[in-house]
């Protein structure tokens, strides 16, 4: 079966965008793919994290994976820092990818802001670690939200450059896979009606963990009252909902709420507008709030139970890490041989 890899950063405030854009996709892929889902803690520390809070946040993302329905026995769930192959391969990719490629990454520009001189080196090199996350398993399918598309393109370029630069060595060692070279070209899977969930306060900004306004996002740990209140207060325009998707074009806030409704109910925006076209937001928002509470409350409940048992959560991560290591280490050893590093 094709191998899937994806990750979520334990940077706190896990939100509806992470859930609809990534975690629900992770759950869906389990029946048809072998899946590796990673709590990418080394990515998280590219910006300052309080150590105590980080431990809780790592367990919280793990709890969210399990609560959403990821099966850690049939698939692999672990935290990145427990498998050293990620960091080791990232170093090799630091020496393959070009400064010019990384200079073009829009997420770095957004996250570093104006004070670029003060951003960590890790934040700049982050996409190389992400390439390593995926390619350490030679994973071919990567379900992500739309914001990760550019990083996936860089991972493909890095894989191709590695295959090209070391083609002779790969050939001599007999490590090429078909015509592709050593590494496959990983495919981003950006699918569904909510690949880019926007802030509830500003339809031009994506919903984000780091937005200072808690009202901008629905956190997976929000209770029913908080969810209903945030949706009630969400920014909208005064027009009723259109009956066709084309009518959402210049209406980012309306488009966002319809997309969220569609993703939560497992349908399409077309189907939502067939039911709710013509409705005012005063009617649509309560329907959306009820749906969000119905879908998210059980997850928040299961997350709370799991967070009360950190030893169990840690044991899931340890078991997943051991199984991940068993896949990644032979691949890393091949990479070392290809590059010409001596190992014993």
Residues 289, 95: Cα–Cα separation, whole Å: 49
10: left (phi over 0), alpha (psi -120 to 50) or beta: beta
The interface region with ligand AQP, picked from 204-212, 296-304, 310-318, 328-336 by CB under 6 A, is 204-212
Binding letters toward ligand AQP, positions 159-198, x by CB under 6 A: ------------------------------------xxx-
Residues 241, 101: Cα–Cα separation, whole Å: 42
Catalytic (active site) residue 209: yes
CA-to-CA dists, residue 56 to 23, 69, 309, angstroms: 19, 20, 12
Query: One of 206, 230, 285, 295 is an active-site residue; which one?
Result: 206
Q: Count of H helices and E strands in the chain?
A: 15, 5
Catalytic (active site) residue 230: no
206: contact with ligand AQP by CB under 6 A: yes
127: contact with ligand AQP by CB under 6 A: no
221: contact with ligand AQP by CB under 6 A: no
The interface region with ligand AQP, picked from 120-128, 208-216, 281-289, 297-305 by CB under 6 A, is 208-216
CA-to-CA dists, residue 44 to 40, 74, 80, 144, 306, angstroms: 7, 26, 10, 17, 22
Contacts with ligand AQP by CB under 6 A: the residue count is: 19
- H or E element in which residue 35 lies: strand 34-39
Question: Which residue is listed with tokens 């409705």?
Answer: 279
Minimum Å distance from CB 197 to ligand AQP? 4
Q: Which residues bind ligand AQP (CB under 6 A)?
A: 8-9, 11, 17-18, 21-22, 144-145, 147-148, 195-197, 206-210
Provide the annotated active-site residues. 111, 206, 209
Binding site for L-tryptophan, residues? 133
């Amino acid at each position: 079966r094709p191998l899937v890899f994806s990750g979520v950063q334990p940077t706190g405030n896990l939100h509806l965008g992470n859930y609809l854009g990534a975690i629900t996709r992770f759950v869906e892929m389990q029946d048809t793919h072998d899946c590796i889902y990673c709590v990418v803690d080394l990515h998280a520390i590219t910006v300052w994290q309080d150590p105590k809070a980080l431990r809780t946040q790592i367990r919280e993302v793990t709890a969210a994976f399990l609560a959403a329905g990821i099966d850690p026995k049939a698939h692999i769930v672990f935290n990145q820092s427990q498998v050293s192959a990620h960091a080791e391969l990232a170093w090799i990719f630091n020496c393959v990818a070009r400064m010019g490629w990384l200079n073009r990454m829009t997420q770095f520009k957004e996250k570093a802001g104006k004070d670029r001189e003060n951003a960590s080196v890790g934040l700049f090199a982050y996409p190389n670690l992400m390439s390593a996350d995926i390619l350490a398993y030679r994973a071919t399918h990567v379900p992500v939200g739309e914001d990760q598309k550019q990083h996936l393109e860089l991972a493909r370029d890095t894989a191709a450059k590695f295959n090209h630069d070391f083609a002779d060595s790969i050939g001599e060692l007999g490590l090429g896979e078909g015509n592709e070279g050593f590494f496959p070209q990983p495919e981003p899977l950006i699918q569904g009606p909510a690949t880019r969930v926007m802030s509830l306060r500003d339809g031009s900004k994506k919903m984000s963990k780091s937005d200072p306004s808690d009202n901008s996002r629905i956190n997976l740990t929000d209770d029913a009252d908080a969810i209903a209140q945030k949706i009630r207060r969400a920014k909208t325009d005064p027009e009723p909902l259109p009956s066709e998707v084309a009518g959402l074009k210049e209406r980012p806030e309306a488009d966002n709420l319809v997309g969220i409704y569609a993703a939560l109910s497992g349908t399409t925006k077309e189907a939502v507008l067939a039911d709710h076209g013509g409705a005012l937001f005063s009617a649509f928002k309560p329907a959306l709030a009820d749906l969000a509470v119905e879908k998210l409350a059980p997850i928040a409940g299961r997350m709370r139970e799991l967070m009360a048992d950190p030893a169990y959560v840690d044991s899931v991560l340890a078991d997943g890490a051991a199984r991940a290591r068993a896949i990644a280490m032979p691949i890393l050893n091949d990479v070392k041989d290809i590059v010409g590093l001596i190992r014993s």
